């Protein structure tokens, strides 16, 4: 039977100052989804590997099938498909796990149908899936996972997505402490309103980060990794947050923030050289706290999701 496999990378959403509007993709990890045409209409999740038996097989709950169904609804087609998912990302980690599944599924299904959509036009279907997974239709994981690179979501209504410049040598280190934080829980601690003072500080940092990317000004990028809107509330959910931040900055990170809704923390650095000392410094803090941590480091992924031949 005819089938297509696709890969979608992990992502760092928010990038400190860009709550729900900035994200980038990383090379280190991702999900693989195989989509196969089947007789008769309807979607079916056939197998899920690497999730420890925890992900839903129901088509209205799994982000793979929610995304493909949204695409088929737009096409007005009733095509039958079997879906096989290989999770390469830990759940509830803040590395865009639900997004990578949705994006890989869409890229595979679109290819199987003869590419009725341009890649960038798959984004609204991935957002529907993100909303099903965590209650919020944010695009800062799905957009970079689909398109690769550093992405700005300038507006959601209508969707206006802009790819930003990625400086040569920009390197990311991810620190994933061994516990789960659901995006829905991590969003529930946020406040509905922001003061004028904080709005000014946050806008300055978003503008600074984007200018830093285009000017390849690593110090400016580092100075702009500041979040006064989400981080103060979410940091309370992540043991050792401020101690780790101090340690990794002393070890050579340009700055550190929460990856997406956490608990994974990300740092940016100029080149890969600092990653080893950043990881060592963070591990020393987590050892004192008594929390295990997985560490990864990676260049920014430029390609985004793609079909595996």
Ligand X SMILES: Nc1ncnc2c1ncn2[C@@H]1O[C@H](COP(=O)(O)OP(=O)(O)OP(=O)(O)O)[C@@H](O)[C@H]1O
Residue 14 is a binding residue for ligand X (CB under 6 A): no
User: Residues annotated as binding site for ATP?
Assistant: 90-100
Query: 81 vs 89, which CB is nearer to ligand HSE?
Result: 89
- Residue labelled with tokens 């809107």: 229
Place of tokens 């097989």: 57
Q: Is 90 helix (H, G, I), strand (E, B) or coil?
A: coil
Contact 91, 55 (CB under 8 A): yes
Are the C-beta atoms of residues 262 and 270 closer than 8 Å to each other? no
Work out whether 5 is an interface residue with ligand HSE (CB under 6 A): no
Of these, 16, 36, 63, 298, which contacts ligand X (CB under 6 A)?
63
Angle at the Cα of 170 from the Cα atoms of 230 and 200, rounded to 5 degrees: 35
In this complex, which beta carbon is closest to ligand X, that of residue 95 or of residue 172? Answer: 95
**Of residues 158-187, those binding ligand HSE (CB under 6 A):** 183, 187
Count CB neighbours of 157 within 10 A.
5
**Diameter over CA atoms, the chain:** 59
Among 14, 16, 93, 267, the residue binding ligand X under the rule CB under 6 A is 93
What b/e sequence results for 119-136 when a residue is b if at least 16 CB atoms lie within 10 Å of its CB, and e otherwise?
A: beebbbbbbbbbebbbee
14 sits near ligand HSE (criterion: CB under 6 A): yes
CB of 274 to ligand X, least distance (A): 24
The CB-nearest residue to ligand HSE is: 260
- Whichever of 66 and 251 has its CB closer to ligand X, that residue is 66
Chosen from ligand HSE, ligand X, none, partner binding at 91 (C-beta under 5 to 8 Å by type): ligand X
Could you list the residues that contact ligand HSE (CB under 6 A)?
A: 13-14, 19-20, 94, 138, 140-141, 183, 187, 260-261
């Amino acid at each position: 039977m005819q089938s297509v496999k696709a890969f979608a990378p992990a992502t760092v959403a928010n990038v400190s100052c860009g709550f729900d509007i900035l994200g980038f993709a990383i090379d280190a990890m991702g999900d693989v989804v195989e989509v196969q045409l089947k007789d008769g209409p309807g979607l079916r999740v056939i197998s899920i590997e690497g999730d420890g038996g925890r992900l839903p097989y129901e088509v209205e709950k799994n982000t793979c099938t929610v995304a493909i169904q949204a695409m088929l609804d737009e096409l007005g087609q009733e095509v039958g498909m079997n879906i096989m998912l290989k999770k390469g990302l830990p759940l509830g980690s803040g590395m865009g796990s639900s997004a990578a599944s949705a994006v890989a599924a869409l890229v595979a299904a679109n290819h199987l149908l003869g590419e009725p959509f341009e890649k960038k036009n798959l984004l609204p279907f991935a957002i529907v899936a993100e909303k099903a997974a965590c209650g919020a239709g944010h695009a800062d994981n799905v957009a970079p996972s689909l398109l690769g690179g550093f992405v700005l979501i300038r507006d959601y209504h209508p969707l206006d997505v802009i790819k930003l410049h990625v400086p040569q040598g920009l390197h990311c280190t991810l620190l994933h402490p061994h516990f789960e934080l659901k995006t829905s829980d991590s969003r529930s601690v946020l406040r509905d309103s922001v003061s004028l003072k904080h709005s000014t500080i946050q806008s300055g940092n978003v503008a600074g980060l984007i200018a830093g990317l285009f000017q390849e000004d690593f110090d400016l990028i580092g100075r702009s990794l500041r979040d006064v809107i989400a981080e103060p509330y979410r940091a309370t959910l992540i043991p050792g947050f401020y101690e780790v931040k101090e340690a990794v900055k002393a070890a050579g990170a340009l700055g550190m923030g929460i990856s997406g809704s956490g608990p994974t923390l990300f740092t940016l650095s100029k080149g890969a050289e600092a990653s080893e000392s950043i990881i060592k410094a963070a591990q020393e803090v987590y050892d004192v706290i008594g929390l295990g941590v997985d560490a990864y480091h990676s260049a920014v992924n430029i390609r985004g999701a793609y079909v595996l031949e």
